[in-house]
Every structure is written in structure tokens, then in C-alpha cells.
Amino acid sequence: MSIEGDEPVIQTEDEVNESSVPSSKRTKTSMAWECFEKFFDDKGLPKAKCKNCDKIYVARDGGGTLNLIKHSLKYDGRGNGSSYPPLDQEKYREKISEVIVKHNYPFTFVEHEGIVDLLYFLHPDVKSISRNTAKSDVLKVYRKEKEKLKSYL
């Protein structure tokens, strides 16, 4: 429907066809955009600004939003994100080593997508480790227990 005069042309939903909407102007479907505002910096590059903490990320057209989603999970129902106590990464690695030994899991257990997602859900500051790091951590636990047993005997 068009209106004559100085007013802009308005199209109803039935009159809009796919050829009239440029493909680069797609709507943002990622849940990350609920927590971020997109803008362009002084060089014309697309950026995304967090609505909670004003942190700025790169926001490429058609690019991934995983970094935005991970950042927004820190604020998902937690106010300013400070409800988590600081994470002791060494203690975390020690506990993962104990789990691997106790349940006879392969070292690749720490790289399983479900485990990485679970750990990140439990604490967003957790740094995932590789299977090689898990192996060296298990060997450290082994040496420590071996020394304890030697001193006991």
C-alpha cells in the first residue's frame, strides 16, 4: 500500500517479497543480540557492545556469535556477573585428574563437547584443558601418591 504525498511508501507484509529485502539485511537470529547492541566504530567496522558491562566485541556480518553468547552467559540471570566465586584453576585440574583416574576415563574425556559445555555452564571462567594437559596432570597425581606411599612404608 502506498500513500501519496511526502510520506514514505509503506508496504504491508503481503506486498514484501524476497527480492525487495537485501540478503545482507537479515534479522539477527542469535540469542546473543538480546544482550548486545550493534554499532559501527570510527573506522566503519561493525562492533557489538554489551548492554550490561559495556564491553565491546567485533561483530562481523554473517560471522559467529559464540564469543558474544559466552560473554552473555555470565550475566544470564546473575545481575552483574559477580555471583561466582573466583575459580581455582589448579584445584579444578586436580579434580578432573581424580575423576579420570577414579572412573578410568580416557584423557580425551576433557575435550568432549558435552563436558566442556557442562563445565562452562557451572563456572564461566573455567578454562578447558587438552588431553595432553590432562595426561600430565594425572601423572602429577600419580607421582604425588607414589611419594605418599613411599613415605608411609
Render pLDDT for 141-153 as a digit per residue (tens, 0 to 9).
999 999 999 999 8
Q: Which pLDDT belongs to residue 65?
A: 77
Phi and psi for 47 in degrees, rounded to 5? -130, 160
Mean pLDDT lowest among 49-53, 66-70, 80-84, 116-120: 80-84
Contacts of 127 (CB under 8 A, 6+ apart): 89
* Range with top average pLDDT, 9-23, 31-45, 128-142: 128-142
The CA distances from residue 54 to 4, 40, 57, 59, 65, in Å, are: 43, 14, 10, 14, 17
At residue 140, the pLDDT reads: 94
pLDDT tens column, 32-48: 777 788 888 888 888 88
In this structure, how many other beta carbons lie within 10 angstroms of the beta carbon of residue 87?
14
Query: What tens digit of pLDDT does each residue of 62-104 get?
Result: 667 777 777 777 765 544 444 677 889 999 999 999 999 999 9
